[in-house]
Amino acid sequence: MERPDDTGCIRQQPGPAKLCADWNDESGWALPAVRGPLPGPLGVALIDVLARHESPGITARRARQGEARGLSKDPIAWVRAAGANVWDADGNRFVDLTAGFGVATIGHTHPAVTAAITAQASRLLHGMGDVFPNDRRIELMRALAEKGDEAGGLTQVILGSSGAEAVEAALKTATLAARRPGVLAFWGGYHGLSYGALAATAYKADFRAPFSAQLGTHVRHLPYGCDPGLIDAFVAGPATCGESIGVILVEPIQGRGGEVVPPAGWLAALREICDRRRLILVFDEVYTGLGRTGRWWASQLEGVRPDVMAVGKSLGGGLPIGAALARPDVMRAWGDSQGEAIHTSTFLGNPVVAAASLATLEVMDGLDIPALARRFEAATRDFFAPHGIPVRGRGGMLGLELGSAGAAARVMGRLLRDGFIVLPSGVLGDILGLTPPLVLSDAQRDAAFQAILHAVAAERAEASPLEATTESQP
Ligand SMILES: Cc1ncc(COP(=O)(O)O)c(C=O)c1O
């Protein structure tokens, strides 16, 4: 790994020479330290480059228009992270309450993961996907099968490189097993943005609108948590959509949709419908999986067993990976390979990513991630309930209900200036998502709670000055 030079800066070519001004705190468990404007001059220089070369639809342009939406002018540029801390290009230190989109569950750059990556990097960097499997990939299959067994015997695996790929592999598997082309998914669901996954994603209309003509009609949507009777009627006949439904795809708790927990018994009702009508039930556990909700799989919260499951995010410990897991009798629908796999990719089962994932799973077991998630939930509820801020979600996947559309982005901007990284969630942007590395220290967590309380009070005061003077007193 590159080390800072004697001025405390990393130097890389090409690109701006100075990427980091201060590199002193190595621990990962420190409180925030923000010393200047955000972003600082080094961050601005990086974002200038980004704005010139990245598609305007991605980072830079969005942030530069963000002033009107209450975001800071430009995003900070991350240059380093450890534990629950992230450092930006100007040496400001933050506490990350997002785990980088739910990835860094065991903390950023966990030493066991970086050691596994380093060791593997000099052994075998690249394998040959489906043709010549590598040893790390095979080991990972075994480890994943052990975990998948707990979700209901899901012991066979297809690997990929992202959550969206995992969802697509899961949908292909389910479609082969169901032998019917239609898929039922749910409003507010987020399953990724590649074409196959986007067909199922119904998070916000503008994510789909420009491409809707290319998304096909095989996926139909109903409201998340709606009356199971309606779902049963919907899947009952081809008359409803011209494609008979063979697959139900669902997040057991919606993540980007706003940490939405379905009504008690709803997932079990889906299971019952699938059993009765011989449909395949796919759980998208890309976000919820691997301990985040307080159980290894969110499906276990209600004791419901999916037939197929998509996994991603935290599995790679920070490296990109996705996996579809299924019961052997469901996976058998692929048949035997005829020499050329009809589902594969160049980097399938990449050995470095597989080594990182193996190390991550081992660390997760050692830390008892589900227990840490439950502990975080209890602390969050205890803290915010007396202040009248409703908390939803489960385990380490929580949302604070701020009560007005767009409020979360403004609170996010305030918190960033205090050194805490959060994300808005929910279709209306009224939910402040809390999905931190579950290893964050109590001091980091408590400081974050105080900062959030102040930021929410300030937001309320600005939105409604009279009410807030009375309401925001703890
Ligand atoms: C539930 C769920 N499924 C799928 C995805 C897509 O994963 P990726 O962004 O790795 O493609 C996400 C991403 O946030 C997700 O939350």
**Model confidence at 458: pLDDT above 90:** yes
Q: Return the percentage of the chain with pLDDT > 90, whole number.
A: 81
Nearest-atom index, ligand 1, CA of 285: 1
| Beta strands across the sheet bearing 245-250 | 156-160, 322-326, 308-311, 280-284, 245-250, 182-186, 219-222
**Model confidence at 11: pLDDT above 80:** no
Residue labelled with tokens 């889906």: 270
pLDDT tens by residue, 191-209: 999 999 999 999 999 999 9
Nearest-atom index, ligand 1, CA of 256: 16
Q: What b/e string do you get for 364-388 counting C-beta neighbours within 10 Å, with b at 16 or more?
A: beebebbebbbbbbeebeebbeebe
pLDDT (0 to 100) of residue 58: 87
Domain residue limits, the chain: 41-106+386-471, 112-367
Q: Is the CB of 430 under 6 A from ligand 1?
A: no
More confident residue, 236 or 68: 236
Find the range with the poorest average confidence among 16-25, 126-135, 242-251: 16-25
pLDDT tens by residue, 146-169: 999 999 999 999 999 999 999 999
Q: Is the CB of 397 under 6 A from ligand 1?
A: no
Confidence class for position 247, pLDDT limits 50, 70, 90:
very high
Q: Closest residue (by CA) to atom 3 of ligand 1? A: 191
User: Any bridge partners for residue 394, and if so which?
Assistant: 397
Q: Output the CA 163–ligand 1 centroid distance in Å.
A: 5
Instruction: Report whether 295 contacts 301 (CB < 8 A).
Output: yes
Q: What are phi and psi of 427, to 5 degrees?
A: -60, -30
Q: Is the CB of 167 under 6 A from ligand 1?
A: yes
Confidence class for position 466, pLDDT limits 50, 70, 90:
low
Nearest to 393 by CA among 409, 408, 407, 380: 380
pLDDT (0 to 100) of residue 463: 81
Q: Can you give the pTM of this predicted structure?
A: 0.92
pLDDT (0 to 100) of residue 472: 38
- What average pLDDT score do residues 8-20 get? 36
Instruction: Render 312-370 in DSSP notation, one character per residue.
Output: -GGGGBTB--EEEEE-HHHHGGG----SS-SS--TTTT-HHHHHHHHHHHHHHHHHTHH
pLDDT (0 to 100) of residue 223: 97
Q: Which of 191, 204, 423 to mutate to test the pocket of ligand 1 (most atoms within 8 A of CB)?
A: 191
Maximum Cα–Cα distance across the chain = 71
Q: What b/e string do you get for 217-227 counting C-beta neighbours within 10 Å, with b at 16 or more?
A: ebbbebebbee
**Model confidence at 1: pLDDT above 50:** no
pLDDT (0 to 100) of residue 401: 97
Nearest-atom index, ligand 1, CA of 193: 11
Q: Does domain 112-367 have CATH number 3.40.640.10?
A: yes
pLDDT (0 to 100) of residue 217: 85
pLDDT tens by residue, 311-347: 999 999 999 999 999 999 999 999 998 888 999 999 9
**What is the rounded CA–CA span in Å between residue 322 and residue 347?**
12
Q: Output the CA 308–ligand 1 centroid distance in Å.
A: 16
Q: Is the CB of 162 under 6 A from ligand 1?
A: yes
Q: Output the CA 155–ligand 1 centroid distance in Å.
A: 22
Q: Is the CB of 246 under 6 A from ligand 1?
A: no
Instruction: Render 116-178 in DSSP notation, one character per residue.
Output: HHHHHHTT-S--BTTTB--HHHHHHHHHHHHHHHTTTS--EEEEESSHHHHHHHHHHHHHHHH
pLDDT (0 to 100) of residue 74: 85
Q: Coil, helix or strand for 270? A: helix
Q: Output the CA 387–ligand 1 centroid distance in Å.
A: 32
Q: Output the CA 426–ligand 1 centroid distance in Å.
A: 14
Mean pLDDT estimate for the chain: 90
Nearest-atom index, ligand 1, CA of 162: 10
pLDDT (0 to 100) of residue 408: 95
Instruction: Report whether 231 contacts 270 (CB < 8 A).
Output: yes
Confidence class for position 15, pLDDT limits 50, 70, 90:
very low
**Model confidence at 21: pLDDT above 70:** no
- We find that the CATH architecture of domain 41-106+386-471 is Alpha-Beta Complex (3.90)
Q: Is the CB of 286 under 6 A from ligand 1?
A: yes
Confidence class for position 181, pLDDT limits 50, 70, 90:
very high
pLDDT (0 to 100) of residue 216: 78
Q: Where are the alpha helices (DSSP H) in 150-277?
A: 163-178, 195-198, 205-208, 228-236, 266-277
Q: Is the CB of 288 under 6 A from ligand 1?
A: no
Q: Which of 194, 287, 397 to mutate to test the pocket of ligand 1 (most atoms within 8 A of CB)?
A: 287
Confidence class for position 59, pLDDT limits 50, 70, 90:
confident
- What average pLDDT score do residues 387-393 get? 97
Q: Output the CA 442–ligand 1 centroid distance in Å.
A: 28
